[in-house]
Structure 1
Amino acid sequence: MDDGVILVLTCLEDSSADMVIGHLIAQGAQVARFDPGIEFPSRAIVSSVFGAGPPRGRLVTATRQVDLERVRAVYYRRPTPYPTPPASQAATFVSREAKFGLGGILATLPCRYVSHPWTLLAAEHKPLQLSAAQRAGFAVPATLMTNDVEEARAFAAEHGQLVYKPLRGGSYTGADGEPCTIWTSPVQLGDLDDGIGHTIHQFQARVDKTADLRVTVAGGQVFCVRLDSRLLDWRADYEGITYTVIAPPAGLPDKCFAFLAELGLPFGAFDFALTEDGPVFLECNPNGQWGWIEDETGLPIARAIADLLLEDPT
């Protein structure tokens, strides 16, 4: 196959990207892997020309050179963030220029993205997700985002059992200095105090679920897995999960497609609480992990992503 290069932007150790790359190479695709946050500028050269005909440029790494106008698709997976500079104006300037220069070049290639980094950034916002989920026809739990303790108490009085969910995942260090994760946690009325005023908090009415669903959508392909766990948040103990591949509930694929179309995403990893009345939307990770699902179930998710990258954009 000599009809362009698929550029994979991810960290150097990404087993899920390795799976996709394996399928791409097996189908004869040319693949270039690049981690801008690590390889640039010490191990890579990037040049791009604008305003003198069609944009053109090159990316040179330790292993290959890529003409940027020949990039047919970009798999934006998990690149290392650009380094946080030390406290000096020069270092801050260098890091910012790399982010907005190199990052801008890679984000403006005229090709398919799975998925575009600027689209991913927008789709990470939970208020946007909840609004889009309602428009797509999903059942959505009653949700309050507030920094007002009285508002939170009134919400708890109205809805009974609540859960707290951070609005975005990220690194967090506990009081002992050890890294930790804030899981979805139950909240009682007595837990709501003036600490809520420190920032905005997300509270949801607790869903009476029988299990969870992880629904992975890549292009037109939908992979639905039931997750049975004893925990409120199954992510806290992957060893305790039982995985069952099931057919998606009636109407769910079309709602997923509508949600992704509104947000401009070709891929999404959806989480639903499964209740006696059907699935309830919890969130969609626009660049979510899926490799462990394929490992546990054998579902061909990597192949579906590779097929999406190889599709003729016309």
Structure 2
Amino acid sequence: MNKFLIVDGSNLLFQMFFGMPARIVNGAGKPIQGTLGFVGAFLRMVRMTRPTHAAVIFDGEHGTERNEISSDYKANRRDFTGLPDADSPFSQLDDICAALDLLGVFRTEAEVYEADDVIASYAIRLGGSGEYRVVVASQDSDLYQLIGENVSVLRYRGKKSTLCDAGYVRERFGVAPERYADLKSLTGDASDNIRGVRGVGPKTAAALIARFGSIEELLAHTDLITRPALRSAIEENADRIRKNYRLIKLTDRAGLPAAPARLAFDPDSVTTADVLRAIGLT
């Protein structure tokens, strides 16, 4: 069976830019810590997963329909516009793209949709085809909802990396991956500035989803909730819960920016130093 490694590029860029132990510059004084970390992490992911196909998806610089659903969506994210190159991860994006091109990895910037939506489209369609095992590399927990028989999520942390399957999600959150969006619709997601239902924490949300199966079934049968305060909170926030679900739920609506044949990848045994040298950074 083919194996497809799809990387959340923007997520990995931020993880490496801010996660490296110190600001690193090359001989010309150019900051390269983000590029160094990104390329090194990608090559280690390749060695860990041995993919036959690979792609890196970056977020585009545009709003999406989620911003129309909620003006608060991701409003808490830092704006890097106008910052010096040394303080902006995006200043190293061109070098990262050059490295990926050198490695022969398909890369693209999400248009109209978010990178998560493009990743979801590949995971759902290729994972569901029965011809691919899909590994999604990201720290973004929203992608847990994509996990299935042929789809896993790689939380890359060097030697402490975790390949997450359905059992991981059930143990950590108390719900199956396909109900992760229902769970988060109740609890909210601080990282995306999505406010949940006051008083409904992860354990309560998981218990409600376990009992009712989905938020729609929950909202249709609130009379069965025996705790008056909880019942009132759910009923009073019905619109918010449904809106949250629209913000969090991932589908294959974004489509595939490239056919699987274009994603074929044959990794050479190159090192990070080889790549940086080839693109002129060392």
- Pick the structure with greater CA Rg: 1
When you count strand as a share of all residues, which structure comes out higher?
1
When you count helix as a share of all residues, which structure comes out higher?
2
Normalized against structure 2, the TM-score is what? 0.26
Normalized against structure 1, the TM-score is what? 0.24
